[in-house]
């Protein structure tokens, strides 16, 4: 996983983020043992320069927490994050602030991520003031125009309030706001999930165009495998706070090496009535509680291939094929099983 740091804009090493569930007064007074929600439990990955890493997972997988922790919006419990070779988990105060200009975020909900009492121009310019950039009025004006032009918003919308815009337009505003400080890395946390499908395509195309023009790197978080396919070169699959599979998008989607990935892909509906999802999907049960994590491999209670070792020993994330990693005791032999299952049952992509 950890190759050389050259060419990687962001690298996470064994990152952990635990939330304390029993920290209230009553719990402390009663002397209750601490209970942790292990949202991110030992995650390592890198994002290359001018590349998108897709991060796929269902609810409770930890993907949103991971996105925020990588940006240091939340302090990691353990582990480190390297930005352009520097360990930012060791930085504080002014040093950390300086790095933040290079890393930005676009949130999922365009309704709640914009201050309803601010006009568009104030929303988009706010990061400049937060970083105390000393700029002339003319410079500010031209930065604003450029940002609006990048996202396709008309100039006469400068004085309007968020409620006067549609969902898609609001998301464009959020993107313009992220771009104004010229970052090199953006975390996109489900940026189109709250939008209508026809608008989704517009925004995804916009994000791709901006990436091409500015040579940006993205961490693209989504529960939608099809969107990640469209946006990313590489992708990671998360389950129960850990990465279970990571590799090039084509490799992961066409020859998955983990039963959960296979189950996920097989459950994705295809807009073709002749390719129906077989039976109930490939997996039973539901996502486990993040507080009571299953022993051994987190996925074993739901895995159709689970054996004894899976209940006792947690599998490591290992490179099974070139640049294709999987955390499964049977990843090797799974290849064969996976291919047959895909041909037989999965509606494919």
Partner 1 sequence: MSDEKLEILEQGDLSDEKSVLRIRNLVVKYKTFQRDVIALTNVSLDVPRSTIIAIVGESGCGKSTLGYSIIGLLPRPPAEIGGGEILFQNKDILKLDEPQIVELRGTGISMIFQEPMTSLDPVYSVGQQLNEAIDVREKRKKRRAGFHAQVDTSSLNPSYAPPGLGQRMAGSGVSSIGRRNKKYSEEAIDALKRVHISDPERVIDKYPHELSGGMAQRVMIAMALIEKPAIVIADEPTSALDVTTQAQVLFLMRELREEIGTSILFITHDLAVAAQIADQVVVMYAGEIVEQASVEDMFHSSLHPYTEGLLKSFSHGYKDEGKIEAISGDVPNLKYLPSGCRFHPRCKYAFARCSVEHPSLDEVLPGHKVACFLRSPSSSNQSN
Interaction between residue 263 and partner 1 (CB under 8 A):
yes
Residues 165-224 that bind partner 1 (CB under 8 A): 166-169, 196-202, 205, 208, 223-224
Of 109 and 202, which CB lies nearer to partner 1 in the complex structure?
202
For residue 182, the 8-state DSSP code is -
What are the structure tokens assigned to 215, written together? 């040579």
Residues 7-66 that bind partner 1 (CB under 8 A): 52, 58-59
Tell me the C-alpha distance between 190 and 202, whole Å. Answer: 15
Q: Which residues contact 85 (CB under 8 A, 6 or more apart)?
A: 5
Of 44 and 192, which CB lies nearer to partner 1 in the complex structure?
192
Tell me the C-alpha distance between 188 and 198, whole Å. Answer: 19
Of 87 and 164, which CB lies nearer to partner 1 in the complex structure?
164
HSE-up (13 A, CA, CB side) for residue 145: 6
Contact at 8 Å (CB) between 8 and 185?
Answer: no
Residues 288-317 that bind partner 1 (CB under 8 A): none
Of 16 and 208, which CB lies nearer to partner 1 in the complex structure?
208
Of 100 and 234, which CB lies nearer to partner 1 in the complex structure?
234
CB of 74 to partner 1, least distance (A): 23
Question: Helix H segments across 132-218?
Answer: 137-151, 167-179, 197-214
Q: Number of residues in contact with partner 1, rule: CB under 8 A? A: 48
CB of 232 to partner 1, least distance (A): 6
From 90-98, 100-108, 258-266, 338-346, span contacting partner 1 (CB under 8 A): 258-266
CB of 142 to partner 1, least distance (A): 27
CB of 78 to partner 1, least distance (A): 28
x-or-dash pattern for partner 1, window 136-155, by CB under 8 A? --------------------
* 7, 85, 154, 269: which one binds partner 1 (CB under 8 A): 269
Of 41 and 51, which CB lies nearer to partner 1 in the complex structure?
51
Cβ of 274: how many Cβ atoms within 10 Å? 6
Interaction between residue 287 and partner 1 (CB under 8 A):
yes
Closest C-alpha to 179, from 159, 209, 155? 209
Q: Which residues contact 7 (CB under 8 A, 6 or more apart)?
A: 48, 49
Tell me the C-alpha distance between 242 and 320, whole Å. Answer: 17
Tell me the C-alpha distance between 70 and 88, whole Å. Answer: 9
Class of residue 151 by CB neighbours under 10 A (exposed 0-12, middle 13-18, buried 19+): buried
Cβ of 150: how many Cβ atoms within 10 Å? 18
What are the structure tokens assigned to 300, written together? 């074993």
CB of 274 to partner 1, least distance (A): 8
Closest C-alpha to 253, from 272, 240, 274, 236? 236
Of 150 and 266, which CB lies nearer to partner 1 in the complex structure?
266
Interaction between residue 273 and partner 1 (CB under 8 A):
yes
* 31, 93, 271, 336: which one binds partner 1 (CB under 8 A): 271
CA angle 92, 96, 100 (to 5 degrees): 155
Of 239 and 334, which CB lies nearer to partner 1 in the complex structure?
239
CB of 55 to partner 1, least distance (A): 15
x-or-dash pattern for partner 1, window 224-243, by CB under 8 A? xxxx-xxxxx----------
Tell me the C-alpha distance between 221 and 16, whole Å. Answer: 18
Please report, as ranges, the residues that interact with partner 1 according to CB under 8 A.
52, 58-59, 166-169, 196-202, 205, 208, 223-227, 229-233, 249-250, 263-264, 266-274, 276-277, 279-281, 283-284, 286-287
């Amino acid at each position: 996983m950890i190759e050389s740091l050259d060419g990687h804009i962001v690298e996470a090493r064994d990152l952990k983020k635990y939330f304390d569930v029993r920290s209230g007064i009553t719990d402390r007074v009663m002397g209750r043992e601490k209970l942790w929600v292990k949202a991110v439990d030992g995650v390592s990955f890198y994002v290359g320069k001018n590349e998108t890493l897709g991060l796929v997972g269902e609810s409770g997988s930890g993907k949103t927490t991971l996105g925020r922790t990588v940006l240091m919006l939340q302090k990691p419990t353990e582990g480190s994050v390297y930005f352009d070779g520097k360990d930012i988990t060791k930085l504080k105060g002014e040093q950390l602030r300086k790095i933040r200009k290079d890393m930005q975020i676009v949130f999922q909900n365009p309704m709640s991520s914009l201050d309803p009492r601010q006009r568009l121009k104030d929303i988009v310019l706010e990061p400049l003031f937060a970083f105390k950039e000393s700029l002339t009025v003319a410079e500010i004006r031209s930065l604003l125009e450029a940002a609006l032009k990048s996202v396709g918003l008309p100039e006469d919308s400068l004085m309007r309030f968020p409620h006067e815009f549609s969902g898609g337009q609001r998301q464009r505003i959020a993107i313009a706001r992220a771009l104004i400080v010229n970052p090199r890395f953006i975390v996109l946390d489900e940026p189109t999930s709250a939008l209508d499908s026809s608008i989704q395509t517009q925004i995804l195309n916009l994000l791709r165009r901006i990436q091409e023009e500015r040579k940006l790197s993205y961490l693209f978080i989504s529960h939608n495998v099809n969107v990640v396919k469209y946006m990313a070169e590489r992708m990671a699959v998360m389950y129960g706070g850990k990465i279970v599979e990571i590799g090039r998008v084509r490799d992961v989607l066409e020859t998955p090496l983990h039963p959960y990935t296979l189950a996920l892909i097989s459950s994705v509906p295809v807009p073709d009535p002749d390719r129906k999802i077989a039976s109930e999907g490939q997996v039973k049960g539901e996502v486990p509680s993040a507080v009571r994590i299953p022993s051994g491999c987190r996925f074993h209670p739901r895995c159709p291939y689970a054996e004894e070792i899976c209940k006792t020993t947690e599998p490591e994330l290992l490179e099974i094929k070139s640049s294709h990693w999987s955390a499964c005791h049977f990843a090797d032999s799974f290849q064969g099983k996976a291919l047959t299952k895909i041909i037989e049952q999965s509606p494919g992509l």
